[in-house]
Amino acid sequence: MASFITVCSSLLLAVLVALSVQIFYFSPIDPLLLDLTPATTTRDNKLQNIIKLGEGAVKEPEDVCVDKEGSLYTATRDGWIKRMRRNGDWENWKYIGGDTLIGVTESKEGGIIVCDANKGLLRVREDGVSVLTSEASDGSQIRFADDAIEDWDGNVYFSIVSTKFNMHNWHLDFLEGRPHGQVFKYTAKTNESALFLDNLAFANGLALSKDQDFLLICETWRYRIVRHWLKGEKKGKTDIFVENLPGAPDNVNLAPDGSFWVGLIKLNSERLEFMYNYKITKHLLASSPRLFNFVSDLKRRATVVNVGTDGKIIRKFDDGDGKVINFVTSALEFEDHLYLGSLTSNFVGKLPLRGA
Ligand X SMILES: *[C@@H]1O[C@H](CO)[C@@H](O)[C@H](O)[C@H]1NC(C)=O
Q: Looking at the DSSP assignment, which residues form a beta bridge with residue 135?
A: 141
Q: Which is nearer to ligand X, 135 or 321 (CB)?
A: 135
Q: Looking at the DSSP assignment, which residues form a beta bridge with residue 105?
A: 113
Query: 94 with 53: CB under 8 angstroms?
Result: no
* Interface region with ligand X, contact rule CB under 6 A, candidates 50-58, 129-137, 203-211, 256-264: 129-137
Name the minimum Å distance from CB 106 to ligand X.
20
Q: Which is nearer to ligand X, 133 or 296 (CB)?
A: 133
Q: What is the DSSP string of 279-298?
A: HHHHHHHHT-HHHHHHH--G
Helix (H) or strand (E) holding 7: helix 2-20
CA–CA separation, 167 vs 145, rounded Å?
9
Going by DSSP bridges, is the β-strand pair 313-319/328-334 parallel, antiparallel, or unpaired?
unpaired
Q: Which is nearer to ligand X, 11 or 131 (CB)?
A: 131
Query: 147 with 159: CB under 8 angstroms?
Result: yes
Q: What are the distances in angstroms from CA 308 to CA 63, 159, 230, 260, 288?
A: 21, 22, 19, 6, 39
Q: Which of 40, 133, 268, 287 binds ligand X (CB under 6 A)?
A: 133
Residue 135 near ligand X by CB under 6 A: yes
Q: Give the count of residues interacting with ligand X (CB under 6 A).
A: 5
- Contact letters (x/-) for ligand X, 165-204, by CB under 6 A? --------------------------x-------------
Q: Which is nearer to ligand X, 131 or 291 (CB)?
A: 131
Query: 306 with 255: CB under 8 angstroms?
Result: yes
Q: Which is nearer to ligand X, 121 or 307 (CB)?
A: 121
Name the minimum Å distance from CB 186 to ligand X.
9
Q: Which is nearer to ligand X, 190 or 199 (CB)?
A: 190
Q: Which of 17, 131, 240, 291 binds ligand X (CB under 6 A)?
A: 131
Residue 137 near ligand X by CB under 6 A: no
Going by DSSP bridges, is the β-strand pair 181-187/203-208 parallel, antiparallel, or unpaired?
unpaired
Residue 37 near ligand X by CB under 6 A: no
* Interface region with ligand X, contact rule CB under 6 A, candidates 6-14, 132-140, 150-158, 167-175: 132-140
Residue 92 near ligand X by CB under 6 A: no
**Which residues contact residue 214 at a Cβ distance below 8 angstroms, ignoring those fewer than 6 apart?**
208, 227, 228, 229, 230, 231
Q: Which residues bind ligand X (CB under 6 A)?
A: 131, 133-135, 191
